[in-house]
Chain A
């Protein structure tokens, strides 16, 4: 019988150090690595462009997303492809990613370059911690530097999906 039941531990009894408040981040690719990953062996030439107000409006209309930056970090491949570095910001995440477009404007590949989560403000705030940790609020928060793999609470990639939609509209409006 004993074996078939749940063992229970109230949160107030959980040493707070067990909860690591550190923000999580990962760097997957540098700019050059991302370029090589998407356009292996090809030479890319930088050709940043600045969108006009009119283009911004048109891109926003077509993609139903906000254009946060007028400058497009763009590189052109020798075979007519495009390499664009873009950034999306969620409530707590900052994601830099690269999109490769074929010469016909279709998506060739998407690679995430960096991913960063930030919950810094709340975690540093003692009141915030107190409401959460209950009786053991006095226990020090441990900064866990070894966070590599996180399970739970599936993150949506909606921001990236919207970003790619915006990039495809940018292609139609400004690159085609």
Chain B
């Protein structure tokens, strides 16, 4: 349908969520179709559930035997490994076993049970899009593939001559060509939307425990695993990361949630910014040079931090 400024917007249920694509320009219609098809392909390649996906093949492939995967899967694994190394394992795609144990993922067919201490270091990336596992681990790309799908969809839109557009995969999004306002859902009160300001040529991804695979019971509704302790975390706050591409934004939301103290260093390396919303307030990083967040918020934050730093309990300021 043509809406304001004749932007074409379509939405389809994909990647376990609703994927919305908006585009302006002569190639909008064909571009949107191609972008949805690409998202579908990425789903098929990287799904833990699909028996023929690269991920499932890897999860049951013989150990120490190179397995050729799609270049796109290889690219996602490369990013994942880089972020795992930087975060010293706070981000780790070998968390499949814990997610299966917690009931968020089904047990893969024809695969032996993973080695309990297996981690990202057991996954080797070889030349020519080949990968191998040194110890049995179950790979799950749930924490990164959605962001990648958004990046790929944007690439397809651009290839079809789309001048400006947005791709939003259930909250992980990218805006290009023309600035658009982006809001963040409040983690506990989804009716409230927090205006992030206008976003342009950047990705925004959020992660929160409230609307994930499991609904209703907060205590068990968050499929985020802390790989260093092999434990599920239950955090009722949302983390939003703004970055140059969505795969990074998506993965870094998990790094912020699991390694809040190291997060600023890692965010800085990617030139990314983060915002945390919880019951008590907001946390923002970095504190300045923050052109996309609402300037009023930034001013308010600066004033409050200057005036009340002394009175805020130490823990509230620096961590959890």
Contacts and interface: CB of A to CB of B under 8 A. Distances in A.
B281 A4 contact: no
Contact of B287 (A2, A22, A117, A156): A2
B281 A13 contact: yes
Interface in A11-53: 11-15, 18-24, 26-30, 33, 37
The bracket for how many chain B residues form the interface is: 35 or more
Contact of A150 (B1, B183, B281, B317): B183
A160 to B, nearest CB: 4
Interface stretch (A68-76, A107-115, A165-173): A107-115
B301 interface: yes
B196 interface: yes
B317 A8 contact: yes
The bracket for how many chain A residues form the interface is: 35 or more
A138 interface: no
Given A8-B316, A150-B183, A151-B171, A21 B282 contact: no
Nearest to B262: A4
A6 B318 contact: yes
Given A5-B318, A92-B191, A160-B13, A149 B280 contact: no
Nearest to B263: A6
Nearest to A91: B215
B184 A9 contact: no
A64 interface: no
Nearest to B15: A157
Contact of A149 (B168, B191, B205): B168
Nearest to B32: A37
A146 B180 CA distance: 9
B126 interface: no
B12 A111 contact: yes
A15 B300 contact: yes
B301 A132 contact: no
Nearest to B181: A146
Interface in B9-68: 9-14, 16-18, 20
B119 interface: no
A162 to B, nearest CB: 11
B187 interface: yes
A132 B17 contact: no
A149 B182 contact: yes
24 contacts: A7-B283, A7-B301, A7-B305, A8-B281, A8-B282, A8-B301, A9-B283, A9-B305, A10-B280, A10-B308, A11-B279, A20-B194, A24-B193, A30-B1, A119-B190, A148-B180, A149-B168, A150-B171, A151-B168, A151-B171, A151-B172, A151-B206, A152-B240, A160-B18
